[in-house]
């Protein structure tokens, strides 16, 4: 049996995508933290040659802080774009019809 998705609730789509994107941010968090540690280590090994740039500890601290906020930022952006995407889908679905899905 085929059914047509005529409307998607924007708030519900925003909540779903917000949580999914926050989970993706958690998955990427260890990778980002390793990159921050590698960057701090690389700056630390340069010694006096990098005197004109920020100290490695400052760079590592900033990257670590950004890494902690990454899941939050991903979640907020997922929510915003989920709401916008559902609203656009609803507008287009009114003009040309929705997506057909087959259900058992």
The tens digit of pLDDT for each residue in 28-76 reads 888 878 877 776 676 666 555 555 556 766 777 777 788 888 899 999 9
In contact, 93 and 10? CB cutoff 8 Å: no
* Rounded percentage of the chain residues whose pLDDT exceeds 70: 83
pTM for this predicted structure: 0.74
Tokens of 91: 């507008």
Confidence at residue 45, expressed as pLDDT on a 0 to 100 scale? 62
In contact, 67 and 32? CB cutoff 8 Å: yes
- Report the alpha-carbon distance of residue 44 to residue 55 in Å, rounded: 8
Beta strands in the chain (DSSP E): 2-5, 99-102
3-state secondary structure of 1: coil
């Amino acid at each position: 049996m085929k059914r047509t998705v005529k409307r998607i609730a924007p708030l519900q789509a925003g909540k779903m995508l917000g949580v999914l994107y926050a989970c993706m941010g958690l998955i990427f968090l260890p990778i980002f933290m390793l990159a921050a540690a590698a960057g701090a280590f690389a700056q630390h090994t340069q010694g006096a040659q990098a005197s004109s740039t920020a100290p490695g500890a400052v760079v590592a601290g900033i990257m670590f802080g950004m890494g902690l906020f990454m899941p939050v930022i991903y979640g907020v952006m997922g929510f915003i774009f989920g709401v916008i995407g559902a609203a656009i889908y609803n507008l287009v679905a009114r003009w040309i019809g929705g997506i057909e899905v087959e259900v058992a």
